[in-house]
């Protein structure tokens, strides 16, 4: 498979409703299947949604009943992989032979099950979860709800003849993290974003040029009308004094080729599934004159060390 058909799933969640958001994810995946896609991708924290309330409801106020109630709902609707919350998606991937890259909010058992992490999950065509990467450093106000992750998910995966890697949002701005993915043979980067042309317009093409790789930036979408009417404190979240009321996230999903040209330009403000065909030969063509971890590297001068150990606060030894 020296070519792949890849899809951007730019959709809005059913905010803070895990099961209904999975319904929308599978609807979009069905569309991708109908377009013969090998891979469908979705934005950062899409399942069950990005924490839009924080910057709109004085999220830094300590011991606030508003913050506590919204955070409580967020954690309860987050994804517990060990509990089978992704089983429907895994079963779909297996039955339809399509791979997924999905941004989600994870409440993992190995960290106690009460804190949440911004994770990106890769599910292969056989329906197996191959990696769960927890965002290394939540950005700004995100730190009021998301916990910092670890390097366990800094891995690449074979998809046909391509080598796929995925990072969350501003991790794509971290030079050493980018290098860790390049060094593992990555030639197809999936960058997941909450949604915003200001995020995807420049970095997508920059990474493509730096890594001589295909780069898919996939974003979510969020409009005031996308919030369920029963959302707690919706009046505060959508207060007109809080800024732009047309979009909280305007999408801008896109795909750049290894030479930095657009295959799909940023898709602003529209919900849909967008597909393109990518060819491995274009990667080799662009790496003829620059390969950041191959012939244009100097490992005798600079090297990178990566700790991929899954972090936990407990190490139990039950041996007698």
Nearest alpha-carbon partner for 105 in 142, 141, 55: 142
The CA distance from 273 to 9, in Å, is 5
Chain centre to alpha carbon of residue 77? 18
Question: What is the distance between the terminal CA atoms of the chain, rounded to a whole angstrom?
Answer: 50
Report pLDDT digits (tens) over 265-290: 999 999 999 999 999 999 999 999 99
Sequence-distant (6+) residues with CB within 8 A of 312 are 110, 111
Domains of the chain as residue ranges with CATH: 3-286 (3.60.110.10)
Task: Express each pLDDT in 52-91 by its tens digit.
Answer: 999 999 999 999 999 999 999 999 999 999 999 999 999 9
Q: From CA 231, how far away is CA 17, in angstroms rounded?
A: 10
pLDDT at 16: 97
Q: Peptide bond preceding 48: is omega within 30 degrees of 0, i.e. cis? A: yes
Contact partners, residue 162, CB within 8 Å, separation at least 6: 1, 4, 187, 188, 214, 278, 280
Residue 100: beta bridge partners? 40, 123
Alpha helices in the chain (DSSP H): 18-34, 65-77, 87-96, 175-182, 197-211, 234-237, 280-286
- pLDDT for 241 equals 64
CA distance 18 to 262: 33
Separation CA 67–CA 71 (nearest Å): 6
Give the chain's residues under pLDDT 50.
Answer: none
Q: State residue 306 phi and psi, 5-degree precision.
A: -120, 130
Pairwise CA distance, residues 185 & 239, whole Å: 46
């Amino acid at each position: 498979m020296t070519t792949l058909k890849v899809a951007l799933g730019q959709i809005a969640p059913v905010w803070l409703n895990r099961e209904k958001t999975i319904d929308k994810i599978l609807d979009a995946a069905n569309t991708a299947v109908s377009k013969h896609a090998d891979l469908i991708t979705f934005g950062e924290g899409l399942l069950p949604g990005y924490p839009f309330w924080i910057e709109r409801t004085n999220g830094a106020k300590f011991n606030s009943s508003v913050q506590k109630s919204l955070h409580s709902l967020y954690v309860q609707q987050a994804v517990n992989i060990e509990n089978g919350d992704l089983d429907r998606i895994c079963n779909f991937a297996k039955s339809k032979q399509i791979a997924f890259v999905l941004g989600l909010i994870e409440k993992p058992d190995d960290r106690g099950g009460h804190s949440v992490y911004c994770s990106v999950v890769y599910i292969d065509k056989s329906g197996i979860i191959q990696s769960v990467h927890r965002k290394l450093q939540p950005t700004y106000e995100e730190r009021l709800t998301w916990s910092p992750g670890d390097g366990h998910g800094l891995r690449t995966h074979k998809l046909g003849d391509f080598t796929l890697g995925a990072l969350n949002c501003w991790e794509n701005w971290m030079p050493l993290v980018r290098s860790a993915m390049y060094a593992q043979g990555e030639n197809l980067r999936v960058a997941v974003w909450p949604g915003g042309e200001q995020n995807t317009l420049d970095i997508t093409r920059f990474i493509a040029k730096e890594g001589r790789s295909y780069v898919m930036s996939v974003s979510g979408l969020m409009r005031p009308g996308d919030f369920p009417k029963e959302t707690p404190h919706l009046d505060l979240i959508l207060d007109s004094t809080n800024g732009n009321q047309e979009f909280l996230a305007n999408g801008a999903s896109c795909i750049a080729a290894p030479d930095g040209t657009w295959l799909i330009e940023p898709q602003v403000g529209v919900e849909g599934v967008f597909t393109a065909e990518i060819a491995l030969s274009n990667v080799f063509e662009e790496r003829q004159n620059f390969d950041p971890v191959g012939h244009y590297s100097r490992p005798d001068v600079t090297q990178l060390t990566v700790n991929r150990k899954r972090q936990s606060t407990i190490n139990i030894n039950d041996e007698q």
